[in-house]
Structure 1
């Protein structure tokens, strides 16, 4: 027992009992959470292609994205071997790219108008360029700034110009939708969360559990959403450029066959499974045909 200044007695605190009061770790979490919320809401913008609010760091300009895309492009070309740009295959792919790029402004304007928005023409200063890379990869890509590549392994799977336009339109759509910038911004939020976890005393096992929950609950669905958006914009783009959008369905069937059925289940993948993707394309086909009738001027 101990005596207080007024003569009253108080029971001693039991051994091991915690003193209530200020928690530095809790303050750290609150500060990080406050910054994350501020960063999230101050970097939201409306995408003219989808009409949805997306997260893109406002400090990231078109010039910044173009510089990052050019750097990545040069690194890839230093490791891969482009085929002769004057070859027949390269010429055909360059022509497909030209037709698709020529319709970007019209498609963006039409999609923005459908949603009551004004087009932003973010990509109007992109310096579009396509290389054909000698590789068995069944793949293609388009980077921010307009640098594109098609691997020769895609040619026998595509089989025709319409199907090749479906793939290239899809890849161009990723650049137009600024999916790269969105992923960079999302990663910054993830880094804020990781720093908060480390500063608050979270151990490696706890951090791994949190990141696994984030991966399946947010990161993978986020990536699949980007693929679905690129499918839609790419389909409208190829249709407007006078390619047959119906060829996109057998294309993705062949792409599935080319993968040998080795894709992981959809919930564990960055891409929709072929059945989901094909069903979505079929739903969009009437709209794509309308775009072909409206914008295809041969």
Structure 2
């Protein structure tokens, strides 16, 4: 019974000190500080750079142009490091601490700057909404308890390495990262508005997910998946399009007209 009491006490402590809200008002469990998440993000990004070659030249300038137009909308959100990785998988990711990665394979699916902006906006929205913190916090609280949180203070420890792994480092990060369906839908909406504020056409997000659907090798039933189906994503985006178009028209009126030159 003692371990039950300790578990209940730990759960009570977590509920008292670690509750926060996402930008949409959803309650979140966030056990980790921004500094801890930033360190995890930095270490994960450095590992990614070791594993894959970084693209240069026109493709880098194109992705930088799109990403910078979006990150400028974050105001005091800090500087973001953007890298393009030579990998044929259609992935992108953003990490706590201000890191953005785009795989070259994504450019075969995102056909223009607006579609690429839809992906980049979505990934940045995960960071802004503290989804990585929420994910590792839920995992720590559920599987290994508060001891893992304490261990994460030294990220070279076994507990710290475990939590870095939970960030979804590597090819599974980004579009394939298994955030919950609620988190994915939240990032879809936040990212849609973010791209629109930067002057990218939010209507192209629908075409992007149609491309994703055509490019996929089939999806599991949505009840078996941590992601919404492509059809559910499209329906969700269409339901938010009026507000996104209002923001887009405001951006256009303010002279925000990105012109990022797609390579080739």
Q: TM-score range by the shorter chain?
A: 0.7 to 0.9
Structure 1 residue runs of 5 or longer lacking an equivalent are 1-25, 106-120, 196-219
- TM-score between both structures, scaled by the size of structure 2: 0.80
Q: Which has the larger radius of gyration?
A: 1
SS in 2 for 1:103: helix
Q: TM-score, normalised by structure 1?
A: 0.71
Partner of 1:131: helix, strand, or coil?
A: strand
Higher relative contact order (CA 8 A, sep 6+): 2
Q: Does 1:281 align with 2:237?
A: yes
Aligned to 1:269: 225
Q: Using a 3 Å threshold, how does the CA distance of structure 1 residues 63 and 221 change in structure 2: closer, same or farther?
A: closer
Q: 1:253–1:79: structure 2 CA closer, same or farther, 3 Å change rule?
A: same
What do residues 146-170 of structure 1 show as CA deviations (whole Å, max 9, x unaligned)? 1111111110211100000000100
Equivalent in the alignment of 1:142: 94
Distance 2:55 2:243 in 1: 36
Please report how far the alpha carbon of residue 290 of structure 1 lies from its aligned counterpart in structure 2 after TM superposition. Answer: 1.2
The answer on whether the counterparts of 2:19 and 2:29 sit within 8 Å (CA) in structure 1 is: yes
State the number of aligned residues.
225
Retained in 1: the 8 A contact 2:10–2:146? no
CA distance in 2, matches of 1:239, 1:92: 18
Q: Deviations over 1:77-106 (max 9, x none)?
A: 10001111xx1121111010010001124x
Residue in 1 aligned with 2:74? 104
CA distance in 2, matches of 1:295, 1:243: 9
8 A Cα contact 1:143 1:175, kept in partner: yes
| Alignment match, 1:180 | 132
Q: Does residue 79 in structure 1 map to residue 41 in structure 2? A: no
Q: Distance in 2 between matches of 1:221 and 1:92?
A: 28
Q: Give the unaligned 5+ runs of structure 2.
A: 148-176, 256-264
Task: State the alpha-carbon separation in 1 of the partners of residues 214 and 144 from structure 2.
Answer: 40
Displacement of 1:246 in angstroms is 0.3
